[in-house]
A and B are shown apart, each in its own frame.
Chain A
Amino acid sequence: MANDKRIVITGLGWVTPLGHDLDTVWRRIVNGESGVGPIDRFDAHGFPTTFAAQVRDYDYRKYLDDPALHEHAGANSQFALGAAKQAWCQAGLDKYSSLDPRRVGIYLGSGEGVLDFDRYVATDLESWDEAKRAIDHQRWIEAANKQLDAWGEIEQEPNMPVSHLAREFNIRGPAYNCLTACAASTQAIGEAFTILRRGDADVMISGGTHTMIHVLGLTGFNRLTALSTRNDDVQGASRPFSRTRDGFVLGEGSGMIVLETLEHASARGASPLAEIIGYGSSADAFRITDMHPTGRGGAAAILQALEEAGIDPHAIGEDGRPLVHYISAHGTSTGENDSIETKAIKSVFGEENAYKIPVSSIKSMMGHLIAAAGSVELITCVLAILHQTLPPTINLHEPDPELDLDYVPNDARSANVECCLSNSFGFGGQNDTLIVRNWVE
């Protein structure tokens, strides 16, 4: 039966506000550092929120043998190329010549590209008819032809990072991009996992990439009042599970992983870093703006993943602990998410076990990477297993009396970590959960 196939992770890579390589970013996570700072990519001084966690000093070209292939790459594709290259090389696929491109697939959760705001506004300014207080469409297209950059516009389609990575790594197998808001890359990895289990590919590259640190991204989230406005303490602003949390902090970047069937990895002598054992996906089907107050959607996704992994959430292992050792929370630092996610975790694991499972949010350090968030959080889970260390939730100095799980406050913690669960919940009620465990033969 195809579903007995074991699916392993053989490569990891990321480009994040805390750095562009596995070791640096992990070290900074363990140190509890923040990647948040003032927005300097555009003039944000007038906005309710003036800060974000930006990727800094990053040049994707240094990861590529032939950067000319990607000369028009937009920001999302740039992040994705660097992250994927790291994962590809860690998996040893750069030195493996027998790969069948038709058995290599790609499933990304990439966000839409960045609207070229300055040129867009210039186009509007040129074509605004003051008398009618409306755009003159005829003048708009003339101005657009003059102002807009054709490649910049083409590269905004969300499937562009898939096309760039496929070209870079000669991928010819199943190819998808999904965009389910903040759940996208968790969902992408989950779907890549099911494609491998079905036997439709031997290797999948999967993950997410996104930036919404641009004028209209900040505008949109500020209008929704979803962002923290703690402009006087920007590194303390992302404070998941804290009583004084006031919204999320925008981050950006990419996380990419190489997934393989165990057969394929073994046959080429690759060492698995970890194994994916469960995936769940659900919709709240409640409201476009709010999560269901009981956390039913998140709980459904967690339960599906546990069921697939064969884990009883109420069981206690031989070591006296629940069978899940760490939960990487969606943990956005919004009032709603952190409280409902806590409810969902309790409803699935029961109070007794829920209190025994450490839960933390790296969004406290690198902000919310939106479509890419789930992929960097899954990578964090793998590193927690490899390093036997739990990443902290920083800025958690004022506990919310309603939120009483073990959120690994402020300091990383050594722990015996074998099995981790990672949640992502998207706007509009899309919920996805992955379960990853240490590699054992």
Chain B
Amino acid sequence: MSRSVVITGLGPITAFGAGIEPLFDALLEGRSAVRRIERFDPTGFPCQIAAELPDDRFSVRKVVPKSYRKATKVMCRDIELAVGAAAAAVEDAQLVTKAADPDAEPTVPGHRFGCHIGAGLIAADVDELAAALMTSRNGEGQFDIGHWGSAGMENLTPLWLLKYLPNMLACHVTIIHDCRGPSNTITCCEASSGLSLGESMRVIERGSADACLTGGAEFKLNPMAFARQIFAQRLAEATGEGVDPTTVARPFDPQARGTVLGEGGGILVLEAQDIAQARGAEPYALVAGFASTQSFCPDTVGLQLPEDGDGLAEAIEGALREADMGIGDIDAIVPFGSSIPNVDQGEAAAVRRVFGDRASSIPLITTVPNVGNCNAGNGAVGLCVAAKCLREQKLPARINTSGANGLDANSCGARDAKLETILVCSSSQGGQNAAVVLKRT
């Protein structure tokens, strides 16, 4: 028999800090953390705003075991975020892992503990790499590759490559929490977190693990990764002058001009329901359904997604089918809600196609205006928020959007709501789609 899978711990990490409380409070109050970028000088970039997690709200050194502090030196920001999120999730689920006490009996035995974390293309730190490369200039100021190979590259730390491998998010997390079960790193841009949750769910269902850390995290707030997002025409033009940065991202608004990035993501604790029950854990939600699909992308690489919602609609239908639910059963939806016009349009079309007349009366929950689009981590933010909404029976405020066509997406205050099931979905740059149905337990 296939086992049921529940969510027992939430560890979002966003501009508001690590953990669900600061994020959910901010969403209830309709606050946005988007402001002028401070991590690098964005002057000259067409977009100069993002949601950054300040150092006084999060320090990776404070969340790793003392014995692991040295290893934080080989963590790029994406890894730090994943490690911070995992610590928050493990704490929220009240799991004892090796991180808390290497000698204590862990709640989940290491070989039954899996880990699936979504990650993006990690850009090597421009400043770090440039400082090394520039040591290999010749007399004319040109780059001398012979010098680089024989001497210059020694200015990079020997473990430089390992700072930037996408699977290092999961590797550090598995080492810290002793997850020796099935482990994977999904790299499908904004669908990565949702797909990772699907992987964890299947692994637990088929009995290959009892619990998994799952989610994703990404940091694109460095010049190289940021430039790639600009080249892909994802970002809103916003130089910060005369415009309030907190108002720029406006999902499903006809005036939306592009997305705003945030750093972050989240890790969730997924457990077999029987294991969670046995230890007296109180799950946030049951993972009732999941599906993944590929959209047919006219431009091949999925910068443009199908306007009719093809692909995403099938993913939503697949997740509903597995959950054995009809369109009347969904009480709220957490879409990608990127504020990228053609992505919003495809998403809106998919929702309308699946839910028909009900589409306009299902509240959408948006997070991008508040914490930015966290790329590979974005779906994990949405999953954490959805699970928290089910527990609190509350819908967060929405900000910025007006004039959303045929969708319940316009700005409004937080409100109490009767919520039994929430759909979380996302479409990636590239056309991969993930849909997850969460059910209140």
User: A interface vs B, CB < 8 Å?
Assistant: 3, 42-48, 69-70, 72, 101-102, 105-106, 112-113, 121, 124-125, 128, 133-142, 144, 148, 150-151, 153-160, 162-164, 166-167, 170-181, 187, 191, 194, 198, 200, 215-216, 218-225, 281-289, 296-297, 300, 304, 426-430
**Chain A residues, Cβ within 8 Å of B133:** 121, 124
A121-B135 Cα distance, complex, nearest whole Å: 12
**Which stretch of B257-265, B291-299, B330-338 is in the interface?**
B291-299
Q: In the complex, what's the smallest C-beta–C-beta distance from B128 to chain A, in angstroms?
A: 10
Which residue, of B115, B232, B310, has the highest number of chain A Cβ atoms within 10 A?
Answer: B232
**A45 in contact with B183 (CB, 8 Å):** no
Q: In the complex, what's the smallest C-beta–C-beta distance from B14 to chain A, in angstroms?
A: 22
C-beta contact mask, B83-116 vs A, less than 8 Å → 1, else 0?
0000000000000000000000000001100010
**B174 in contact with A43 (CB, 8 Å):** no
Q: Would you give 19 A-B contacts (Cβ < 8 Å), ordered by A?
A: A128-B130, A139-B44, A148-B231, A154-B232, A154-B303, A163-B430, A175-B188, A175-B293, A179-B185, A180-B170, A187-B184, A223-B160, A281-B183, A281-B184, A281-B208, A282-B181, A430-B170, A430-B171, A430-B183
**A224 in contact with B162 (CB, 8 Å):** yes
**Chain B residues, Cβ within 8 Å of A297:** 180
Other than A176-B195, A283-B171, give 10 A-B pairs with Cβ distance below 8 A: A69-B300, A121-B143, A140-B126, A154-B303, A156-B228, A162-B294, A162-B430, A172-B296, A172-B311, A285-B175
A427-B199 Cα distance, complex, nearest whole Å: 21
**Chain B residues, Cβ within 8 Å of A105:** 292, 294
Which residue, of A43, A176, A200, A285, has the highest number of chain B Cβ atoms within 10 A?
Answer: A285
**Chain B residues, Cβ within 8 Å of A221:** 161
Q: Name the contact of A180 in the complex, choosing from B146, B181, B183 (C-beta under 8 A).
A: B183
Asked whether A283 and B183 contact (CB < 8 A) given A144-B223, A170-B296, A194-B202, the answer is yes
**A159 in contact with B43 (CB, 8 Å):** no
Q: List residues of B (154-187) whose CB comes within 8 Å of A's CBs.
A: 154, 156-162, 165-168, 170-172, 174-175, 177-187
Give 4 nearest A-B pairs by CB, closest first.
A220-B161, A428-B171, A46-B149, A47-B149
**B227 in contact with A153 (CB, 8 Å):** yes
A164-B146 Cα distance, complex, nearest whole Å: 36
**Which stretch of B117-125, B267-275, B399-407 is in the interface?**
B117-125
**B127 in contact with A157 (CB, 8 Å):** no
A426-B168 Cα distance, complex, nearest whole Å: 11
**Chain B residues, Cβ within 8 Å of A288:** 71, 74, 159, 162, 168, 171-172, 175
Cβ-closest chain B residue relative to A124 = B130
Q: In the complex, what's the smallest C-beta–C-beta distance from B298 to chain A, in angstroms?
A: 9
**B160 in contact with A180 (CB, 8 Å):** no
**A159 in contact with B158 (CB, 8 Å):** no
**A166 in contact with B141 (CB, 8 Å):** no
**Chain B residues, Cβ within 8 Å of A155:** 301
Check if B69 is an interface residue, CB within 8 A of chain A.
no
**Chain B residues, Cβ within 8 Å of A300:** 111, 180
**Chain B residues, Cβ within 8 Å of A289:** 159, 162
Asked whether A176 and B223 contact (CB < 8 A) given A3-B206, A223-B161, A288-B175, the answer is no
Asked whether A224 and B185 contact (CB < 8 A) given A43-B145, A175-B294, the answer is no
C-beta contact mask, B14-41 vs A, less than 8 Å → 1, else 0?
0000000000000000000000000011
Q: List residues of B (291-331) whose CB comes within 8 Å of A's CBs.
A: 291-297, 300-303, 310-311, 314
**Chain A residues, Cβ within 8 Å of B162:** 224, 288-289, 427-428
**A125 in contact with B141 (CB, 8 Å):** yes
Which residue, of A112, A151, A166, has the highest number of chain B Cβ atoms within 10 A?
Answer: A166
Q: In the complex, what's the smallest C-beta–C-beta distance from B138 to chain A, in angstroms?
A: 11
**A134 in contact with B131 (CB, 8 Å):** yes
Asked whether A159 and B311 contact (CB < 8 A) given A164-B301, A223-B153, the answer is no
**B202 in contact with A198 (CB, 8 Å):** yes
A128-B134 Cα distance, complex, nearest whole Å: 8
A289-B161 Cα distance, complex, nearest whole Å: 11
Q: In the complex, what's the smallest C-beta–C-beta distance from B299 to chain A, in angstroms?
A: 9
A172-B24 Cα distance, complex, nearest whole Å: 35
Q: In the complex, what's the smallest C-beta–C-beta distance from A336 to chain B, in angstroms?
A: 15
**A167 in contact with B296 (CB, 8 Å):** yes
Q: In the complex, what's the smallest C-beta–C-beta distance from A387 to chain B, in angstroms?
A: 32
**A285 in contact with B178 (CB, 8 Å):** yes
**B130 in contact with A175 (CB, 8 Å):** no
**B146 in contact with A284 (CB, 8 Å):** no
**Chain A residues, Cβ within 8 Å of B231:** 148, 150-151, 153-154
A142-B122 Cα distance, complex, nearest whole Å: 22
Check if B418 is an interface residue, CB within 8 A of chain A.
no
A48-B223 Cα distance, complex, nearest whole Å: 30
Q: Name the contact of B294 in the complex, choosing from A3, A173, A178 (C-beta under 8 A).
A: A173
**B300 in contact with A167 (CB, 8 Å):** yes
**A304 in contact with B301 (CB, 8 Å):** no
Asked whether A426 and B188 contact (CB < 8 A) given A163-B430, A167-B296, the answer is no
**A426 in contact with B167 (CB, 8 Å):** yes
Which residue, of B122, B126, B143, B183, has the highest number of chain A Cβ atoms within 10 A?
Answer: B183
**Chain A residues, Cβ within 8 Å of B156:** 219, 223
**Chain A residues, Cβ within 8 Å of B165:** 179, 181, 427-428
Which residue, of A43, A200, A216, A220, has the highest number of chain B Cβ atoms within 10 A?
Answer: A220
**Chain B residues, Cβ within 8 Å of A134:** 127, 130-131
Q: Name the contact of A224 in the complex, choosing from B43, B159, B180, B181 (C-beta under 8 A).
A: B159
**B121 in contact with A148 (CB, 8 Å):** no
**Chain B residues, Cβ within 8 Å of A218:** 149
